[in-house]
Amino acid sequence: MFKELSIEDLATLRLANKVTIVDVRSPSEYAEATIPGSLNIPLFDDAERAEIGTLYKQKSIAAANERGIEIVSAKLPAFIKAFAEIPGPKVVFCWRGGMRSKTAATLLDLVGMRMSRLMGGYRAYRQWVVAQLDERPIIPNAYILHGHTGTGKTEILRRLAAKNYPVIDLEAMADHRGSVFGQIGRKGHNQKTFDSLLLDGLIHVADSPYLLMEAESKRIGKVVMPEKLIRAKEAGHQIWIELPIEVRVANIMADYKPELYADYCIEAFKRIKMRIHTPIANEIEQCLKNGQFERAIELLLIHYYDERYDFTSMSYGKTERNHIQATSIEDAVAQIEQLLK
């Protein structure tokens, strides 16, 4: 018989990397939000789920169950094979720990697979995430990276994370760069996915004496940061990074790849065009249309982003600041490491 796991049991196994989590919900449910790191082996696809739901509402539970058995029977060999290819212990879940996960766990147990089932399903997991974010204390000793657009703050954090520094990469968790151009080349996560990834990140750095994060706005694309994380940002050690403008332009070119998303860049620019002095705005737009992206970026930095960032930075008042004058991202990383030591 398969084992029933609580959310707390699953959290312990995930932290130790001792289990593979399988979401047996439909592909659209999985795409909307899931437990981070889980695989999707759906019991029903979206059309099948809709068909069974219609039978349940318009005919009877018996009719829905009968049709469900027909669908599962036809795909059972492929379903079992997909699970058999996953090594080690596995946990299945559906929306609320109902028939889909119970059916999957029962069938797999019958063919001798070691299997567990998450009680309460994704709904219970989501409730647990919200409660954890509300209850979990944020590490007070935070180091916050500031810098003009193009300074490479996110890339700096990634390089520090690769060296095992305790990093919370909010832009990666939001899948958004936090500006009007921030979603170019990305899909953007919803609040459920962001919250799950943020909680995972906070758990990962929980035993660290400090954490590193970027000075993001409260809203990052589609998501909103928890208030306690904003307070930690405002009270933390502020690190202000400066890079030459030509390096910043090169960083933006490498990150955004505007040559691949020219139309998106033009559409995004139209949202801020009215905030820029008309002759400059017209030149920027023309550069974007002509593929002169370096020049367009330079003008945007000088006449829009730098001015806005300087104004925002005034809100930090007399907060202690550590200034880093760097020549490159590599140089900035080295100086931050020295500062942390």
Active-site positions? Answer: 94
Distance between CA 149 and CA 300 in Å, rounded? 10
Report the greatest alpha carbon distance in the chain.
73
Is residue 138 a contact partner of residue 198, using CB atoms and an 8 Å limit? no
Alpha helices in the chain (DSSP H): 7-15, 27-32, 46-58, 61-84, 99-110, 121-135, 153-162, 170-174, 191-204, 227-235, 245-256, 262-270, 278-290, 293-300, 306-313, 329-340
Is residue 300 a contact partner of residue 249, using CB atoms and an 8 Å limit? no
Distance between CA 247 and CA 150 in Å, rounded? 8
Question: What are the two backbone dihedrals, phi and then psi, of residue 139, each rounded to the nearest 5 degrees?
Answer: -60, 120
Check residue 165 and give left, alpha or beta (phi > 0: left; psi -120 to 50: alpha).
beta
Distance between CA 167 and CA 324 in Å, rounded? 19
CA distances from 172 to 101, 164, 225 (A): 30, 17, 13
Amino acid at 45: D
**Residues β-bridged to residue 323:** 240
CA distances from 242 to 7, 55, 80, 309 (A): 44, 62, 55, 12
Name 136's Cβ contacts closer than 8 Å, sequence gap at least 6: 199, 202, 206
First to last CA, the chain: 53
